[in-house]
Amino acid sequence: MNNIDKKIKIPRATAKRLPLYYRYLIILNEEGKDKVSSTELSEAVQVDSASIRRDFSYFGALGKRGYGYDVEALLNFFKKILNQDTLTNVALVGVGNLGRALLNYNFKRSNNIRISCAFDINEEITGRILSGVPVYHMDDLKKQLTDQQISIAILTVPSTEAQKTTDEMVEAGVKGIMNFTPIRLSAPADVRVQNVDLATELQTLIYFLDSDKEDK
């Protein structure tokens, strides 16, 4: 597991599960556990063991048949894959109710992600430090993103401002946007947008709960 190819092409679903595996491996390592099976991982992260073995297979032979996976070796492997040794500074654009909640959270359980600056138009909070994060006026967005070389942003502005703000962020060099607005953003091909629609996710959950009731 020493030669790690960061350019390995893996399915999006697999990529989204890697942090789950990593967080559970941290717990196992802290408990002093030496090895873990795909079945144990499955029960802990609620992903079927076949999917776990398939996810791991994209990276070569990570475990041994009949033995399972070496916890420390697997932890170190995913630490490199997920760039846990590198701190990534993220901008928060929009400091309303959701934005403030994200500021308070600020990825406290992550060693490699940090909201380092925030932006808003509310003059009551601009020029201040909230939860340890400086809040700049939106007028300074492009300059600060460029000066601080920030390439990832969390977008929580009103829907009416979402596309305009996105265009400004792209001009400033942002390459990744986590979009909490209901608007589907238009962005260049080299900019990745990840949409987080809380209402849709909740409606999906309600649908499946109702379906489960009908099946019983």
pTM, 2 dp: 0.66
Q: In whole angstroms, what is the distance from residue 127 CA to residue 124 CA?
A: 8
- Report the SS3 class of residue 66: coil
The residue ranking higher by pLDDT, 208 or 95, is: 95
How many residues comprise the chain? 216
CA dihedral over 167, 172, 175, 180, signed as positive or negative? negative
Shared fold status for 12-81 and 88-199: no
Q: In whole angstroms, what is the distance from residue 125 CA to residue 107 CA?
A: 21
Render pLDDT for 123-174 as a digit per residue (tens, 0 to 9). Answer: 999 999 999 999 999 999 999 999 999 999 999 999 999 999 999 999 999 9
Would the pLDDT of 98 be above 60?
Answer: yes
Render pLDDT for 80-96 as a digit per residue (tens, 0 to 9). Answer: 777 666 678 999 999 99
Reading the block at residue 134, the tokens are 């400086």
CATH topology of domain 12-81: Arc Repressor Mutant, subunit A (1.10.10)
Question: Hey, what CATH class is 88-199 in?
Answer: alpha beta
DSSP annotation of 169 reads H
Domain ranges of the chain: 12-81, 88-199
The mean of the pLDDT values for the chain is 85
Place of tokens 């070796």: 73
Which positions ≥6 away from 176 have C-beta within 8 Å? 151, 152, 153, 191, 192, 193, 194
Q: How far is CA 65 from the centre of its chain?
A: 32
Q: How far is CA 86 from the centre of its chain?
A: 14
